[in-house]
Amino acid sequence: MPPRRKDASENGLARGTFLLLLAPALILLFLSLYPFLSGLYTSLTDQKLYAAGGTRFVGFANFVRLAGTPLFWTALGNTLSYTALVVAIQLPLGLAFALLLDVPGRLQSFFRSVLVLPLLIPPVVAGLMWKTMMQPQQGVLNYLLSFLGIDPQPWLANPATAMISVVLIDTWLFTPLAAIILLAGLQSISVELTEAARVDGASPWQIVRRIKLPLLGPYVLLVALFRVSDALKSLEIIYATTRGGPLNATRTLHVMAYEEAYRWSNLGRAMAIVFVLWALCYAISGTLLALWQRQEARRYAR
């Protein structure tokens, strides 16, 4: 029989100790809440970096103005399509890698270490590296494609291909993360279950479809959660390669906010964009998190 759970007083946790432990929690809360609230306040002002002392409270004017700015809607569309593409490509690809790596064999550990290599590279560096490789004239990518008879592509320099090129870089960088999480999920599936299925005559494909994939559900949602919240906020790769261009093909909300703050010194307007991004991030990842928790609950209820 397991020991009965003790409550705080039985645990000998005196009131003083409790308060002492509460203090760091409050400090942490303050440290995260203060910047948030001060940012929120800034988004309601016309603060400009260079206009010393001249900041006025403008209410929701920055948000109203944003809604009337065509570029904002372009950036919102870009943010959403970037995120959708990233998840739609990286999830199946990560799953495929995970399934391949789950097959026991001598090369398994080698491929596992090769797979994580991109994760060790900072996104800005990866962006610059790919920018060099994607150069239409001297880039190695077009050179390699020329052997397949494919004409040189202006990867990052054409509004039509810029977005997909940036997603490609993101995919190279972050698919390993998806694969690793999914691999952990696959390896948590008990061997008895798959062995029993095999003995019963199930084909490898049936085992994957009927046993592994359904059990992998929570992990798939976890990957989606990570990648969605990261992709919505993605800045480094885009800024290192296209800076939101050409034209506005890759201008996401984060890039727009960055330029507003650091090129044009408009902190108030930049903060308003950041808050729209925050709300978006909160809503989408909140939904995913709820789905994930429901799945987890179902898993343990089983």
Partner 1 sequence: MQLKAGAPRPNLIAGGLFAAALAASTALAPLPAAAETNWRAAEGSTINLLLISHPFVDSLKPLLPEFTEKTGIKVTFEELAEQPGFEKLLADLSSKTGSYDVFMTSPLNNWQYATGGWLEPLDDYIADPKLTAADYDLADFIPGVLASGRWTLEPLKGVGEGKLWALPINFESYQLAYRPSLMKKLGLEVPKTYAELLAMADKLKTDGPNGPVNGIITRFDHYWDLPYLTFGTMLQSYGVEMLDADGKLQICSPASIQATEDFITLIKKASPPDAGAFTWDQAMQGFASGQYIMSFNEANLFAPVYEDPKQSSISDDVGYAPTPLGPDGKRAAAAWIWSLSMNSAAKNKTAAWLFLEWVTSKDVSVKTALAGNMNPVRKSVWDDPKVTALMESWGETPGQYVAAAKTEAEVAALRFPPHPELTRMLDRWAEAIQQSYFGQGDVKTNLCAAQDDIQAMIAP
Q: Is 157 in the site for partner 1 (CB under 8 A)?
A: yes
Binding residue for partner 1 (CB under 8 A) from 10, 15, 50, 191? Answer: 50
Q: Is 158 in the site for partner 1 (CB under 8 A)?
A: yes
SS3 240: helix
SS3 48: strand
Q: Is 194 in the site for partner 1 (CB under 8 A)?
A: no
Binding residue for partner 1 (CB under 8 A) from 265, 289, 295, 296? Answer: 265
Query: Between the CA of residue 280 and those of 163, 178, 243, what are the distances in Å?
Result: 20, 22, 22
Radius of gyration of the chain (CA): 24
Query: Shortest approach of partner 1 to residue 156 CB, angstroms?
Result: 7
Q: Is 55 in the site for partner 1 (CB under 8 A)?
A: no
Q: Is 149 in the site for partner 1 (CB under 8 A)?
A: no
Phi, then psi, of 234 in degrees rounded to 5: -55, 130
Q: Is 67 in the site for partner 1 (CB under 8 A)?
A: no
DSSP per-residue string spanning 12-34: T--HHHHHHHHHHHHHHHHHHHH
Question: Looking at beta carbons only, is 217 or 246 nearer to partner 1?
Answer: 246
Question: Looking at beta carbons only, is 39 or 159 nearer to partner 1?
Answer: 159
Q: Is 74 in the site for partner 1 (CB under 8 A)?
A: no
Phi, then psi, of 158 in degrees rounded to 5: -120, 130
Is the C-alpha dihedral spanning 123, 230, 168, 177 positive or negative?
Answer: positive
Question: Looking at beta carbons only, is 219 or 258 nearer to partner 1?
Answer: 258
User: Contact positions toward partner 1, by CB under 8 A?
Assistant: 49-52, 135-138, 154, 156-159, 242-243, 245-248, 262-265
